[in-house]
């Protein structure tokens, strides 16, 4: 996994989901939803915090050039190095060059979505450099050679027995099917790697423009290892991660863990400004920040769609999504899944590549209700459906011409109420041909796709008549 | 300076030149501190909720408390920050008299990784979450709270801050800060909470009260 996809076949994937995946995913989402609800109830001003967070993120996106420039100045002033990567290839080259210059053989990585996005591990391995994921869940799926099924607990689809088998096979040791023992083994194996690695690679949860500070949140402590022990720390971070100042952080840090796992704060939050200052201190000698564009600056052209960059990657939207809960993370075909994936991938990869994703939703709106930064996900999904169908300056239409024609026609008909009314009269007559008793057991194409699975209730009255009757107090 | 990324951002946002933004939207005000006693009780309770061990101590109960900890956790090797406060409490002296081997906090990473216990003091403590805030410098190496399997942090009432705001006002220009909220944890295998995956398995927080 983790090469950039050329087409995401959501529908095809969903035809063969092993039942164990939704079962495991729902255990995780259930836990997180419960935890979040408890934390939200404790904070009476949670709704106000959400609004402020949303306002600050919007403000930052609208002034992204200003805050990025300030950030870069401050990182440099703190003794760090800033690299601008316009494309994924640029970013990979920057990291590879740094690794070569420092004669790096072993890289320890802390969970980072940006490095997944640019498929950095493949590039490092191709250059003969061992790159190890160190978040336990990420480490397990790296050994297993699969992708993440959940944004917070990426290996949740694997049972302890399966993980034990993977450890036994890949590490050549006897591993019991016990979470505590398996964790102990991973600690031992990875501890030795942390101490040996010449380079640590991380992402960031936030970049604070005011002081050039990288903020990183982890629970396991692997993020601290990666940024404390190796001599070289390279952070690869999307340009959308910048926030104005530390005051803004008071808002986001209160929302992030509560929304993600139902913790008040994650175990470790690090605030890193530049490399270590004194030779006798711990921390990297060199700090490099790779600011990744990779299409983000183009996505900004869409005033509604660009709200996707408000995201703080908490995963709350996925936890409440009825579609995600039944298909799991793999179906979304890239490193980011759930409702956020469905609005991120089509914009970043282009609507032709991810055209199925905006439809991978019931538009129930649960995601928007929990999103800590109030991204109007359903509105963006509808907007992207339109872009998929009709095409625009960013990408051509992907719907076949006949379907587009039908869509145009029905849009026209729905706008002219006499056509609509006429249709509502005629339809029950047409349908009565296929009616058997109280149901329509099989209907002609394209409705046959529905009746293959279940019978269709016949239209008994037009919506207008029904509404009239309802209003007059029935 | 020409920077294609910034230029493209400006083009997409419909600007031709850099502009200064309007002020950032206002943030939410900090929580108010309760009485010191209440803040202490709350902090220690939060640490315990996260499976940490929290207690109040006095300068003269430090030797006993250390003795208990060393026995409980089977401590053979330890390291401690070289700060005036910890020196005043004679932590290293007491540990040595308990037969614990001491490693300099400025020793290499391999030596620190062999320690069972790392002792630090918190620069701040947040009651709402039981969070320790630690700075980093040559005297306060950040690896001491990370590599040993047990972490003991000593904190005084004067380090309590009601909310993130006050901590950030004082520390935003520090080159490194870490917030520690409970021991290292994961739920990555079948959602079973397991402590000590990479960082310390056990966290002790001692609130040092003046007699
Ligand atoms: S879209 Fe909102 S809810 Fe979903 S991951 Fe991002 S911040 Fe969290």
Residue-wise pLDDT tens digits, A36-60: 999 999 998 999 999 999 999 999 9
Question: Structural domain boundaries of chain B?
Answer: 33-208
pLDDT at A461: 65
Contact B191 A31 (CB under 8 A): yes
pLDDT at B211: 58
For the cut 70, the answer to whether the pLDDT of residue A229 exceeds it is yes
Q: Is A152 in the pocket of ligand 1 (CB under 6 A)?
A: no
Q: Among A185-199, A436-450, B172-186, B187-201, which is the least confidently predicted range?
A: A436-450
Q: Is A124 in the pocket of ligand 1 (CB under 6 A)?
A: no
Reply yes or no on domain B33-208 having CATH 3.40.50.10420. yes
Contact B175 A31 (CB under 8 A): no
pLDDT at A222: 96
| Residues from chain B contacting residue A67 (CB–CB below 8 Å) | 21
Residue-wise pLDDT for A76-133, tens only, equals 999 999 999 999 999 999 999 999 999 999 999 998 999 999 999 999 999 999 999 9
Residue-wise pLDDT for B123-134, tens only, equals 999 999 999 999
For the cut 60, the answer to whether the pLDDT of residue A306 exceeds it is yes
- Once rounded to an integer, what is the mean pLDDT over residues A335-353? 95
Q: Quote ipTM for the complex.
A: 0.97
- Residue of the CA atom closest to atom 3 of ligand 1: A371
| Ligand 1 center to B40 CA (angstroms) | 34
The rounded distance, in Å, linking the Cα atoms of A360 and A397 is 18
- Once rounded to an integer, what is the mean pLDDT over residues B37-42? 97
User: What is the value of pTM for the model shown?
Assistant: 0.92
Residue-wise pLDDT for A166-182, tens only, equals 999 999 999 999 999 99
The rounded distance, in Å, linking the Cα atoms of A61 and A242 is 9
- Residue of the CA atom closest to atom 4 of ligand 1: A317
Residue-wise pLDDT for B7-17, tens only, equals 999 999 999 88
CB B172 within 8 Å of CB A161 = no
CA-based nearest residue to B36, from B206, B161, B120: B161
User: Percent helix, strand and coil across chain A, each rounded to 5?
Assistant: 55, 10, 35
Q: How confident is the model at residue A1 (pLDDT cuts 50, 70, 90)?
A: very low
Substitution candidate for ligand 1 out of A261, A338, A375 with most atoms within 8 A of CB: A375
Substitution candidate for ligand 1 out of A309, A340, A369 with most atoms within 8 A of CB: A340
Buried residues in A158-177 as b, exposed as e (16+ CB within 10 A): bebeebbebbeeeeeeebeb
Q: Among A6-15, A145-154, A219-228, which is the least confidently predicted range?
A: A145-154
Structural domains in chain A plus CATH codes: 12-297 (3.40.50.10420), 402-473 (no CATH)
- Once rounded to an integer, what is the mean pLDDT over residues B40-55? 97
- Once rounded to an integer, what is the mean pLDDT over residues A377-391? 93
Q: Is A313 in the pocket of ligand 1 (CB under 6 A)?
A: yes
Percent of chain A's residues with pLDDT above 90: 75
Q: In the A/B pair of chains, how many CB contacts fall below 8 A?
A: 234
The rounded distance, in Å, linking the Cα atoms of A343 and A362 is 14
């Amino acid at each position: 996994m983790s090469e950039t996809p050329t087409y995401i076949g959501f529908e095809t994937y969903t035809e063969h989901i092993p039942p164990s995946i939704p079962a495991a995913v729902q255990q995780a989402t259930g836990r997180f939803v419960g935890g979040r609800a408890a934390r939200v109830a404790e904070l009476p001003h949670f709704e106000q915090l959400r609004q402020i967070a949303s306002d600050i993120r919007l403000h930052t996106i609208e002034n992204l050039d200003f805050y990025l420039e300030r950030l870069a100045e401050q990182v440099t002033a703190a003794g760090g190095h800033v690299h601008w990567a316009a494309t994924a290839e640029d970013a990979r080259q920057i990291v590879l060059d740094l690794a070569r210059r420092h004669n790096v053989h072993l890289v320890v990585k802390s969970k980072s979505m940006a490095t997944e996005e640019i498929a950095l591990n493949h590039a490092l391995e191709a250059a003969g450099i061992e790159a190890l994921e160190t978040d336990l869940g990420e480490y397990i799926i790296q050994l297993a050679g699969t992708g993440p099924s959940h944004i917070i607990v990426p290996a949740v689809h694997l049972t302890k027995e399966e993980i034990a088998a993977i450890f036994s096979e890949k590490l050549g040791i006897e591993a019991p099917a016990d979470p505590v023992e398996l964790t102990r083994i991973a600690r031992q194996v990875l501890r030795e790697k942390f101490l040996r690695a010449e380079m640590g690679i991380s992402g960031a949860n936030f970049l604070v423009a005011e002081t050039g500070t990288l903020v990183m949140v982890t629970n396991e402590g692997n993020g601290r290892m990666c940024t404390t022990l190796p001599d070289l720390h390279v952070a690869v971070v999307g340009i959308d991660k910048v926030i104005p100042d530390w005051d803004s952080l008071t808002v986001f840090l209160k929302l992030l863990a509560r929304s993600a796992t139902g913790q008040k704060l994650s175990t470790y939050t690090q605030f890193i400004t530049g490399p270590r200052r004194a030779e006798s201190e711990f921390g990297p000698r060199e700090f490099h920040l790779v600011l990744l564009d990779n299409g983000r600056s183009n996505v900004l052209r869409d005033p509604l769609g660009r709200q996707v960059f408000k995201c703080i990657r908490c995963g709350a939207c996925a936890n409440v999504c009825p579609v995600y809960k039944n298909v799991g993370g793999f179906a979304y075909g890239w490193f980011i899944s759930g409702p956020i994936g469905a609005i991120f991938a089509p914009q970043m990869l282009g609507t032709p590549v991810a055209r199925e994703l905006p439809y991978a939703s019931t538009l129930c709106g649960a995601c928007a209700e929990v999103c800590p930064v109030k991204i109007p996900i359903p509105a963006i999904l509808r907007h992207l459906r339109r872009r998929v169908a009709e095409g625009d300056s960013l990408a051509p239409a992907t719907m076949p011409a006949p379907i587009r024609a039908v869509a145009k026609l029905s849009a026209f008909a729905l706008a002219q109420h006499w056509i609509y009314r006429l249709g509502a009269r005629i339809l029950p007559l047409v349908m009565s041909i296929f009616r058997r008793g109280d149901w329509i057991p099989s209907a002609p194409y394209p409705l046959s796709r529905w009746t293959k699975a279940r019978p269709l209730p016949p239209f008994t009255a037009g919506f207008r008549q029904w509404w009239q009757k309802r209003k007059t107090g029935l | 300076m020409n920077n294609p990324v910034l230029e493209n951002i400006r083009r997409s946002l419909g600007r031709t030149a850099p502009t200064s933004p309007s002020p950032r939207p206002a943030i939410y005000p900090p929580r108010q501190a309760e009485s010191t006693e209440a803040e202490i009780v709350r902090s220690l309770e939060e640490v315990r909720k996260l499976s940490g061990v929290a207690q109040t101590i006095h300068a003269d109960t430090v030797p006993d408390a250390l003795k208990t900890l060393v026995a409980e956790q089977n401590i053979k090797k330890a390291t401690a920050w070289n700060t005036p406060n910890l020196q005043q409490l004679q932590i290293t002296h007491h540990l040595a008299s308990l037969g614990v081997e001491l490693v300099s906090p400025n020793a290499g990473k391999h030596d620190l990784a062999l320690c069972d216990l790392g002792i630090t003091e918190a620069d701040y403590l947040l009651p709402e979450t039981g969070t320790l805030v630690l700075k980093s410098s040559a005297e306060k190496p950040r690896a001491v709270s990370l590599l040993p399997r047990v972490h003991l942090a000593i904190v005084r009432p004067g380090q309590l801050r009601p909310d993130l705001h006050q901590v950030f006002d004082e520390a935003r220009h520090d080159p490194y800060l870490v917030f520690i909220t409970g021991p290292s944890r994961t739920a990555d295998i079948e959602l079973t909470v397991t402590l000590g995956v990479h960082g310390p398995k056990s966290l002790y927080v001692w609130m040092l009260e003046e007699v």
